[in-house]
Chains A and B, each alone.
Chain A
Amino acid sequence: MTGSVEAVLGQPAVPTTGVWAEVVGQRSVLAELYAAAVAAAGAVSGGGTGGGAMTHAWLLTGPPGSGQTTVARVFAAALQCVVPGPVPGCGACQGCRTALAGTHADLRIVAPDGLSISVAEMRALVQTAARRPTAGRWQVVLVEDADRLTEGAANALLKAVEEPAERTVFLLCAPSDHPDDVPVTIRSRCRPLALGTPRPAEIARALRDHDGVDPELADWAASVCGGHVERARRLAADEAARQRRAAVLAIPTALHRSADVFRCADELVKAAETDAVEANEIRNEEEKEALRTAMGAGGTGKGTAAATRGANAAVRELEKRQKSRTTRTQRDSLDQALIDLTAFYRDVLVLSAGAAVPLNHPDREADSRSAAARWTPESTLRRLESVLECRDALAANVKPRIAVEAMLMVLWRG
């Protein structure tokens, strides 16, 4: 570890090229991972383990949007990089590219599409992870939402983390507001890495230099994304996302009568439903088709009836998972709207307190300023709390329309 600390304090310890250029900000975290990658490469080529810079289990935490998953993939790519040389993670070789894309044979990504990872899936995963890496480097297991593991799945994972195979690495990601949701038994065996919120300037630079976004648009997207890199990318790239944001932020000043409440609720809920359908439609069909092919539908002969029954059960299971994924997409889409609203009411509070703090939505300053002049701080706070309550309610499975209408009633009356 001493090596990496020196590196952080000294010259740029992390290359700004190759896979390392994928990450926005997070220099100190990258420095630690880079040192680990160098040590890991040494271990593969027969050297030592780099004085403990490398370890078998990592827990990456950070605020939503800070990019734990990207960081984890970049590290995975650096571990799989096959170009010999002093800097692992060239970004161009087969190992780097397939790892970044998530298709490397020695990389398992667990992304809970549904609502949780089943015990059976986790057992199978742990077994595969214990095998020798096919490409001769590392078996990497990346768990995207480690905070959503069920108790059973966590126990299955724990055994593997406790006694890892020599060349197996676990990368667990969790949002920093729920690190407690990762069982302590697992947490205590991981090396923690805490990501911070990237600064707007860092995000704008990444959009410009890495994604080729027009500088003015990049600055704007970075200034309104709340430190959420993917959100900034989306806003920079997608006109529809910009329109949606504008529509959501028009709500606070558009509520004059109770009829406005129901109209705005309807718009919010329907937009989220549309998002969910559009995001999953093609994928659902592809998955069903793949399943049908795999189950050999349409066969004839002995045993066909039993096979058909099995296939139908598998299709039902798939449909169940797809439905829960659609529900989650809808919830996530609605949550984005609520995040934007929360930030708006925070701006109003900041302005009525006269605090010199950068606004969350600098481009809506005229609205937040006039609201700050009209509303009492208490009523603004009630509004803000109702948005937060609505987020909690959606997370607890309350019907979206009921939760959103109740929130908008408060946003209207204060």
Chain B
Amino acid sequence: MPPQPAPPAPLQLILGDEELLVERATRETLRQLRVAEPMAELTRLRATELTPPHLAELVSPSLFAEARVVVLEAAQEAGAEICEAVAAYCRAPAEGVVLVVVHSGGGRSKLAKQLPATLRSAGAEVTECPKVTKASDREAFVRNEVRVAGGRIDAAGVHALIEAVGSDLRELASAAAQLVSDHDGPLDEATVRRYHRGRAEVTGFAVAERAVVGDVPGALEALRWALSLGVPHVLVADALADAVRSVALVRGAGGGDPFRLAGQLGMPPWKVKKVRNQIRGWEDDSLVRAMRVVATLNGEVKGQAADASYALERAVLEVARAQRAGQRAR
């Protein structure tokens, strides 16, 4: 960590509602403050537990002139009186006191909502922790987690990890740390999938990927494996449908820069590159056939077929054979 060059700003704002990032930012801020002022006295409390006199007491000049850090958590829930008291304090911060306001960015009352703006205009140091909603931000998060843990991971590996674990940052962070500590060398898709083999989505994709390259024995084996693990039929069917339509989409889009195509086709660039390796052997008419197979399958696994496992097996076979047949008999 780089050394702290200047004394900490007397007003700190940690703004946002991504819980894990807020926690980390708070911890990091306190760590830095402790480096700057090892003897500082720390008070942490929720805004709703605070009264204006209590706040005044916390930030009033102390007899012994020791440094103090006051962390005001969940400031978006603060009542009007506290909001006004904080705003007043911002205009004239006390020496030797650092006020850290943790705020979600929302708030029930107008005054509580305005707190971040008040702190900003008073010159507070701001750490933003907005909710991670974009896929690219989540991917960046995973890459960073792996790097911080001392490992390396490629784009397909990142995607496989998100597919397997889901979008919760806390779970992603712990999965990333776990993977790095359990494996030597860079992490790729195969490693991630091997590691998370029990996960439904991953095994569904394994079936689909073998089927669309015409690997009949491989696809059937992966399917039996998935079914023996209790992977829901619907998930395997969805994965198969996604794989077939991805092939049709990427093949129809022709060549060109995968990054440009990614935007056009609504899939990540690494996937465009991966699917490009799967389009060999496919013809227009065999794709027509495969797309009808997966559409029928979607209805079958939702209760139309007496035996959904058999319906899946047949669909996997038909897709793999369509790829191999290349040309539809007309």
Contacts and interface: CB of A to CB of B under 8 A. Distances in A.
A39 interface: no
Interface in B246-263: 248-249, 251-253
Contacts of A403: 295, 298
Interface in A141-187: none
Contacts of B285: 413
A402 B315 CA distance: 15
Interface size class of B (residues with CB under 8 A): 20 to 34
B288 interface: yes
A290 B271 CA distance: 47
Nearest to B245: A405
Interface residues of A, number: 21
Contact of B292 (A258, A261, A396, A410): A410
Interface string A375-397: 00000000000100100010011
A398 B303 CA distance: 10
A402 B241 contact: yes
Given A258-B251, A259-B252, A413-B285, A406 B292 contact: yes
A403 B296 CA distance: 8
B291 A262 contact: no
B84 to A, nearest CB: 27
Q: Give the one of A386, A399, A402, A413 with max B CB within 10 A.
A: A402
B287 interface: yes
Contacts of A396: 299, 302, 304
Interface string A302-335: 0000000000000000000000000000000000
B299 A398 contact: yes
B328 to A, nearest CB: 8
A111 interface: no
A331 to B, nearest CB: 14
Contacts of B291: 405-406, 409
A406 B249 CA distance: 13
Nearest to B248: A258
Contact of B295 (A257, A261, A398): A398
Nearest to B295: A406
A56 B194 CA distance: 68
Nearest to B238: A399
Contacts of B299: 393, 396-398
Contact of B287 (A258, A397, A399, A407): A258
B288 A393 contact: no
Contact of B288 (A397, A398, A402, A413): A413
Given A257-B252, A259-B252, A259-B253, A409 B298 contact: no
B241 A413 contact: no
B313 interface: no
Contacts of A386: 292
Interface string A249-267: 0000000011101100000
A267 to B, nearest CB: 14
Contacts of B252: 257-259, 261-262
B302 A262 contact: no
Contacts of B248: 258, 261-262, 409
Contacts of A402: 241, 245, 294-295, 298
Interface in B283-323: 284-285, 287-288, 291-292, 294-296, 298-299, 302, 304
A259 B253 CA distance: 7
A262 B222 CA distance: 29
Interface of A is mostly: helix
A257 to B, nearest CB: 6
Contacts of A406: 291-292, 294-295
Nearest to A395: B299
Nearest to B242: A402
B254 to A, nearest CB: 9
Contacts of A259: 249, 252-253
A410 B288 CA distance: 6
Contacts of B302: 396-398
Contact of B298 (A257, A399, A413): A399
Interface string A342-362: 000000000000000000000
A262 B295 contact: no
A409 B292 contact: yes
Nearest to A265: B245
Contacts of B288: 409-410, 412-413
Nearest to B251: A258
A53 to B, nearest CB: 46
Contact of B284 (A258, A389, A397): A258
A400 to B, nearest CB: 10
Contact of B249 (A262, A407, A412): A262
A407 B284 CA distance: 14
A393 B294 CA distance: 12
Contacts of B287: 258, 409
Nearest to A390: B295
Q: Give the one of B248, B288, B298, B302 with max A CB within 10 A.
A: B288
A327 to B, nearest CB: 13
Interface string B71-85: 000000000000000
A393 B251 CA distance: 26
Q: Give the one of B248, B284, B298 with max A CB within 10 A.
A: B298
A412 B287 CA distance: 12
A399 B300 CA distance: 12
Interface string B193-234: 000000000000000000000000000000000000000000
Contacts of A399: 241, 298
A33 B148 CA distance: 80
Contacts of A258: 248-249, 251-252, 284, 287
A406 B290 CA distance: 9
A262 B248 CA distance: 9
A299 to B, nearest CB: 19
A259 B245 CA distance: 11
A235 to B, nearest CB: 30
B69 to A, nearest CB: 39
27 contacts: A258-B249, A258-B251, A258-B252, A259-B249, A262-B248, A393-B296, A396-B302, A396-B304, A397-B302, A398-B295, A399-B241, A402-B241, A402-B245, A402-B295, A402-B298, A405-B245, A405-B291, A406-B294, A406-B295, A407-B295, A409-B288, A409-B291, A409-B292, A410-B288, A410-B292, A412-B288, A413-B288
Interface of B: 241, 245, 248-249, 251-253, 284-285, 287-288, 291-292, 294-296, 298-299, 302, 304
Q: Which 9 A-B pairs have the closest CB atoms?
A: A258-B252, A406-B295, A409-B288, A398-B299, A396-B299, A398-B298, A406-B291, A259-B252, A406-B292
Given A259-B252, A405-B245, 11 more contacts: A259-B249, A393-B295, A397-B302, A398-B295, A398-B302, A399-B241, A402-B241, A402-B294, A406-B291, A409-B287, A409-B291
